[in-house]
Amino acid sequence: MTVVALMADPPRPGLVLSELAETSPLSETEAADLYAAMLKDSMVAVSRSGGDLLVNYRSEDLLPEAYREEDGTAEAAVRTLAADALDDPSEARFEVQVGSSVSARAGNTMMHLLRDEDVRTAAVVRGDAPFFTRSKIDSMAMKLRTNEVVLGPSTAGRSYVAGFSDPIDFSEAFTTPEVETLTARANDAGHNVAFLEMQPTVRTGVDLLTLVPAIRARWQAERIVPGYTAEFVVETGLNVVEEDGEPTLVRDEE
């Protein structure tokens, strides 16, 4: 089975999706709620797939000082999300991240799994791509049987998943543009690279222009949606309308 490492921060306002709060009608608290919803959808997707879920969280001492909490722990926060999302939370494994940057933390996790634990295939996701569903996870696992690296491209040069059957040089590997940088590192290692379908990630207000209509369209068509994220979109009243010839994110009037 592929071990899917979900890189998770405690969903605290201002800590997570801060740029989204700055560039959309959402407050910092609402952006944190959306982050929590997307994390829970990612947990559900992995649990329903053929993969094993590893929740890889940042400890309090790795968080910016302004967002540390003395009366709680980051681990407890992400464990609470898992308890809410999963039928059997014991299926999830929890490990603390190690490293000072995204690339370092993701790379350390992948190296630990592939080299130290002798896992055949492993992947890293950030949990901000709610349409990364069970079928996509299983498709990635299939591609990893014949390719050392499988990447899921997203908007703005991002990647929503990076899967490996053999390591690369992870130093600064997740710098912008992620999907191109990761491909270059794979090429340097002599690895074959395969790609999944493009999926939206959500980090800025512009990203909601893609996510919200997709969620609402699938909801109206009675198709499968990422449940927690869809519930957030509908309950928050987010919509995309045309204003001055441009798509614009608005909220329903209460």
Taking 50 as the pLDDT cut, the residues of the chain under it are none
Among 153, 140, 189, which residue's Cα sits nearest to residue 168?
Answer: 189
Cβ-in-10-Å burial (0-12, 13-18, 19+) of 188 comes to exposed
The structure tokens listed for 237 are 């009243």
Q: Give strand pairing partners of 57.
A: 8, 96
The structure tokens listed for 206 are 């512009």
Residue type, 12: R
Per-position b or e across 196-226, b if 16+ CB within 10 A of its CB: beebbbbbbbbbbbbbbbbbbeeeeeeeebb
At residue 232, the pLDDT reads 97
pLDDT in tens, 128-165: 999 999 999 999 999 999 999 999 999 999 999 999 99
For 70, the 3-state DSSP assignment is coil
Calculate the average pLDDT of the chain.
95
Q: Which domains does the chain have, with CATH numbers?
A: 2-200 (3.90.550.10)
At residue 253, the pLDDT reads 66
Task: Please count the other Cβ atoms lying within 10 Å of the Cβ belonging to residue 183.
Answer: 20
Cβ-in-10-Å burial (0-12, 13-18, 19+) of 118 comes to exposed
The structure tokens listed for 47 are 């649990």
CA atoms 29, 102, 44, 183: torsion sign: positive
The pTM of this model reads 0.95
At residue 71, the pLDDT reads 76
- How far is Cα 232 from Cα 208, in angstroms, rounded to an integer? 12
